Amino acid sequence: MNTVEKQSGCYFYGLQSRPFSPDRLYRVHVCDKMIAGAYVAGQFYDERSAAAQLQQLYPLLFLLVCRGLARRKEREAFYDTVDPFDCGLTAFDERNFQISRPEVVHTRLQRNRNFRAVFNAGTVELELLEGKPLRLILVADQDQDEVLKTMRIFDPAIEVTGKPRPRRFPKPVSPQKQRAARAILGFMLLLFGGFLPVVALDGVFPLRLSMPAIIYQVVIGAVSAVVGVVTLARALKKPTPPPKPEEPAKLKDAA
């Protein structure tokens, strides 16, 4: 194992929730003198979180999500070869951060799940000397005890609050409700797609739009209408019944 691997081996994943801009997922490296965060992904950091946030729009934006996940893999592979505690980490990406031990007044691990992320295992909170706390949500199924062990390298006196709650798995949605949701979504997209061209052509409101703006609205409306028709058609299509199991061949009576 080389020096970089030894220095960057202790880390966890923390999501910085940002109410008015996309969230940021960091790979947070910990040592006794510093906490270093390497930015690896944005709002959609894995398939499960993307599906939960986008809901019915997930199939339409699937390629965009895959592109973001591929970029996350590239960033993680790059940071595997970088010393996170080197002063050049912030030069690779302005979103990266490094916090030394004297800059932190208090550290806390909150075991209760955070409502700002769909799937998470609590929050690590750093109270900084400058007064603004840094909260990192432990996304996905990270082990709280392992994160606590890692954080104690930085601060052996870290405070632990809350009690872990059992995860509640949502009930599976029936096919009938899924079809109804798709039908409503398709109908709304169809209405939106028909409304935009009418507005662009001054059919409803006396708007004075430039020709590029009119073309843009007509194109967006046409795309929305096509997506709405396809979604509505798939929702109204009767599901194919499962094939009936073949009856076992009757044994012929012995002569």
Q: How far apart are CA 141 and CA 143, in angstroms?
A: 6
Name 148's Cβ contacts closer than 8 Å, sequence gap at least 6. Answer: 109, 158, 160
For the stretch 26-52, pLDDT in tens is 999 999 999 999 999 998 999 888 888
Three-state secondary structure call for residue 127: strand
Q: How far apart are CA 255 and CA 250, in angstroms?
A: 15
For the stretch 53-81, pLDDT in tens is 888 788 778 888 899 999 999 999 999 99
The mean pLDDT value of the chain amounts to 82
DSSP state of 213: H
In which element (H, E) is residue 160 found? Answer: strand 159-161
In which element (H, E) is residue 28 found? Answer: strand 24-30
For the stretch 138-190, pLDDT in tens is 998 888 999 999 999 999 999 999 876 655 555 666 777 777 877 887 788 77
Which structure tokens are listed for 15? 């999501």
Q: How far apart are CA 205 and CA 198, in angstroms?
A: 9
* pLDDT > 80? residue 119: yes
Q: Supply the pLDDT for residue 170.
A: 54
